[in-house]
Amino acid sequence: MSLSFAKPTTRTIIRTLIPIGTALLAFVVTGFLLLAGGFDPLEAYGLLLKGSVGGVREVGETLVRTTSLLLTGLAVGFAFRCRVWNIGAEGQLYFGAIGAVVIALTVAGQIPVFGVIIAIIFAMIFGAGWAAIAGVLKSRLGVNEIIVTVMLNFIAILFVDFLVHGALKAPGFEPQSALIPLTSQLPILIEGTRLHAGFLVAIAAAVLIYLILFKTKTGFSLRATGVNPKASGYAGINVKRSILLTLLISGAVAGIAGACLVQGVNDRLLVGISPGYGFIAIIIALLGREHPLGITFVAIFFGALMSGANLMYQTMGIPVAIAETLQALVLIFALVGEFFARWKFKEAPK
Amino acid sequence: MVIEIAVIVTLLASGLGLSTPLLFAALGEKIAERAGVLNLGVEGMMIMGAFAGFMGAFISGNIAIGFLFGILTGAVMASLMAFLNVTLRTNQLVAGLAVWLLGLGLSAFLYRLAFGIGTAPRVEPLAAINIPGFSDIPFVGPVLFNHDPLVYIGWAMVPILYIIVFKTRIGLTLRTVGENPRQADTQGISVVRVRYYAVMIGGAMAGVAGAYLSLVMVGIFVEDMTGARGWIAIALVIFGRWHPIGIMGACVLFGMVDALQFSLQAAGVQAPHQIMLMLPYIMAIAVMAFTYKRTTQPAGIGQAYTREEK
């Protein structure tokens, strides 16, 4: 592989061209849908570009989205890498948000400087705790984690709905919690944007996940368990513990995403605090090949798509679901492209 | 006393109605799983069926054409699933997740593209029909014989599928492909073709399930209106142990829980509605925890079949 760095072979050229080509294909297909809906796709994609990277404020918006997508993407990607199918990042995000808001409104808000961090740590504990339900069921009873985590998403979303209509409701008409104190809010990084320090937390999380996965013994045994549970069991790895630990770490990272939405973006808990970041995270994890670096790139790309979609909506009235459609199509075309990438190699010698 | 019986009648009748979309989706999922394809894309096929069914009925003014649209769209989404998994041999879980997320995004996008933002067009939902003679029987009549036609079609599917899967050559072929694809291949059965058919029939049934939500239950399309019913259907296949009768039992049970939840709310029971809405999801988890160990799933499930390798 290092040789190909010096002199790119046809193989590496194909490897880099195929994902770009398949992503473009997704845009072309969506362009035809826009055309059918009576919109000019070129004008729309121009706005997509302008709305995502057209200025400091726009880049800020993109990175705000990226923060949520990166954290949830890392959570899902980490679990997938260990072959634990955690589809529950959305629910874990919601529980993280609950943890952050509860502690910020009670204890952490009174504590200067460390209040921010305490709230994030609580969000991690809440996210991990919510994921632990699936972890315990999987490791103790062998219950499929996919369906359990999907169900836990819906329960968590309803639970937040319940809280902001009841126990956590602030006085007034809107179903939302009170504003959290300034001491537990994440500071804004760039004046005139909404970009908050949570972005740095997300980048740090990416580095940390990389180190855990590839540079520690724990990470090695977690990955080994995923690839071959039987052999890992013989090698003395506690498989049940590995599955539980994977879900705990994954849930904790998704919990930080919830904390960032509460402490960095909304400064409170409200209904629908996430527009499905935890679901898009599944696409991000798969496209990023379950690797923190790949996940980071895809999260930035998808963050741009989402903030660009906002401008397309405001200016032309194009439905914002165009972002989700594009994201899913990029994944499907990438899966097709991957097949052809493999297929091409078979004929090449070596 | 009279009022209480009326409440129970409504509860049982609406429970059977609510179990119908689950039944279609779960039976369809079962067919795919019998062929060895764990189809996680049901939810995506359902929501696309709900959308296409609504569109078809709205444009044509005919509910039957709406259902036809739902069926075709479900099958098209399923053919994508089959293409990814059977032809390209993408991991089944990944293929299913991709189809799910595509359905979720695409249905919302296309609906808003077609109708714009801020409008909620309606179609007249499919009405219940009385079965002459039977619907007049006290208690039993209104519970069992006063439903829309889809409810009866759903019930009819159960024995039909049972006979096809367990008593016919087609069923034997299907099960062989699911249990032991290699053996099926040596017998001259095309694993690829059987899996395509099975997944697409399953998708068509998920399409019916979705169209049932939009065309029978409410008469409108709402984004994410499936609310994880496709996922619950997957759980119910496991709960019903891959057997049509078991699956029907599981679906009726879940329909009843849904109905109970609605009627408790309607009766003004002092419980927050969000907590009540959680019931089916909590039950799905409980059911999975309770049954998972005791089940035997088709042996070939989850693996893409390759001829040359191994």
Could you tell me if B245 lies within 8 Å of chain A, comparing CB atoms?
no
Nearest to A279 among B89, B101, B292 (CB): B101
Contact A279 B289 (CB under 8 A): no
Higher local confidence (pLDDT), A167 or B203: B203
Contact A336 B105 (CB under 8 A): no
> What pLDDT, on the 0 to 100 scale, is given for residue B304?
74
User: In sequence order, what E strands does chain A have?
Assistant: none
User: What is d(CA A68, CA A274) in angstroms, rounded to the nearest whole number?
Assistant: 9
Q: Is pLDDT at B216 greater than 90 in this prediction? A: yes
pLDDT digit string, tens, across residues A318-335: 999 999 999 999 999 999
> What pLDDT, on the 0 to 100 scale, is given for residue B3?
61
Could you tell me if B40 lies within 8 Å of chain A, comparing CB atoms?
yes
Average confidence score pLDDT of chain A: 91
Could you tell me if A282 lies within 8 Å of chain B, comparing CB atoms?
yes
What mean pLDDT is predicted for residues B97-114? 96
- Compute the C-alpha angle A158/A164/A170, nearest 5°: 175
Q: Is pLDDT at A295 greater than 70 in this prediction? A: yes
CA of A88, closest CA in chain B: separation in Å?
A: 13
Surface-to-core class of residue B44, CB atoms within 10 Å of its CB (0-12 exposed, 13-18 middle, 19+ buried): buried
Q: Does residue B119 lie within any of the structural domains?
A: no
Give the helix, strand, coil percentages of chain B, each rounded to 5: 75, 0, 25
pLDDT digit string, tens, across residues A245-294: 999 999 999 999 999 999 999 999 999 899 999 999 999 999 999 999 99
Q: What is the CATH number of the domain that holds B290?
A: 1.10.3470
What mean pLDDT is predicted for residues A118-124? 96
CA-based R_g, chain B, Å: 20
Higher local confidence (pLDDT), A348 or B186: B186
Nearest to B281 among A142, A144, A151 (CB): A151
What count of other Cβ atoms lies within 10 Å of the Cβ of residue A129? 18
CB of A101 closer than 8 Å to CB of A280: no
Question: Which 3 state secondary structure label does DSSP give A339?
Answer: helix
What mean pLDDT is predicted for residues A326-348? 80
Count of residues making up chain A: 350
Q: Tell me the chain B residues in contact with residue A133 when contact means C-beta distances shorter than 8 Å.
A: 285
Domain count, chain B: 1
Q: What is the DSSP letter of B36?
A: T
The boundaries of the domain holding residue B158 are: 5-114+148-294
pLDDT band at A7 (very low <50, low <70, confident <90, very high): low
Could you tell me if B3 lies within 8 Å of chain A, comparing CB atoms?
no
Question: Which 3 state secondary structure label does DSSP give B129?
Answer: strand
CB of A302 closer than 8 Å to CB of A284: yes
Contact B228 A161 (CB under 8 A): no
Average confidence score pLDDT of chain B: 89
What mean pLDDT is predicted for residues A147-161? 96
Q: Tell me the chain B residues in contact with residue A143 when contact means C-beta distances shorter than 8 Å.
A: 288-289, 292
Contact A335 B95 (CB under 8 A): yes
Q: Parse chain A into domains and list their residue ranges.
A: 40-317
Q: Tell me the chain B residues in contact with residue A279 when contact means C-beta distances shorter than 8 Å.
A: 101, 104
pLDDT digit string, tens, across residues A87-107: 999 999 999 999 999 999 998
Q: What is the pTM of this model?
A: 0.93
> What pLDDT, on the 0 to 100 scale, is given for residue B296?
60
C-alpha torsion angle, residues B138, B141, B144, B149 (rounded to 10): -160
Q: Does residue B122 lie within any of the structural domains?
A: no
- Non-local (6+) Cβ contacts of B23 within 8 A are B154, B157, B158, B209, B247, B248, B251
> What pLDDT, on the 0 to 100 scale, is given for residue A349?
45
Contact B106 A335 (CB under 8 A): no
Contact B90 A339 (CB under 8 A): yes
pLDDT digit string, tens, across residues B123-135: 988 888 877 777 7
User: In sequence order, what E strands does B124-262 have?
Assistant: 129-130, 146-147
Q: Is pLDDT at A350 greater than 70 in this prediction? A: no
Q: Does residue B136 lie within any of the structural domains?
A: no
CB of A332 closer than 8 Å to CB of B98: yes
pLDDT band at B297 (very low <50, low <70, confident <90, very high): low
Fold of A40-317: ABC transporter involved in vitamin B12 uptake, BtuC (1.10.3470)
CB of A94 closer than 8 Å to CB of A273: yes
Higher local confidence (pLDDT), B269 or A163: A163
Interface TM-score (ipTM) > 0.90 = yes
> What pLDDT, on the 0 to 100 scale, is given for residue A5?
46
Question: Which 3 state secondary structure label does DSSP give A216?
Answer: coil
Output phi, psi for B152, to 5 deg.
-70, -40
Q: Is pLDDT at A6 greater than 70 in this prediction? A: no
pLDDT digit string, tens, across residues B134-154: 777 877 778 788 888 899 999
Return the percentage of chain B with pLDDT > 70, whole number. 94
Q: Tell me the chain A residues in contact with residue B51 when contact means C-beta distances shorter than 8 Å.
A: none
pLDDT digit string, tens, across residues B30-62: 999 999 999 999 999 999 999 999 999 999 999
* Among the listed residues B306, B256, B297, B292, the one whose alpha carbon sits nearest the alpha carbon of residue B36: B297
Q: Is pLDDT at A4 greater than 70 in this prediction? A: no
Q: Does residue B184 lie within any of the structural domains?
A: yes
What count of other Cβ atoms lies within 10 Å of the Cβ of residue A303? 25
> What pLDDT, on the 0 to 100 scale, is given for residue B310?
41
Return the percentage of chain A with pLDDT > 70, whole number. 95
pLDDT band at B29 (very low <50, low <70, confident <90, very high): very high
Return the percentage of chain B with pLDDT > 90, whole number. 64
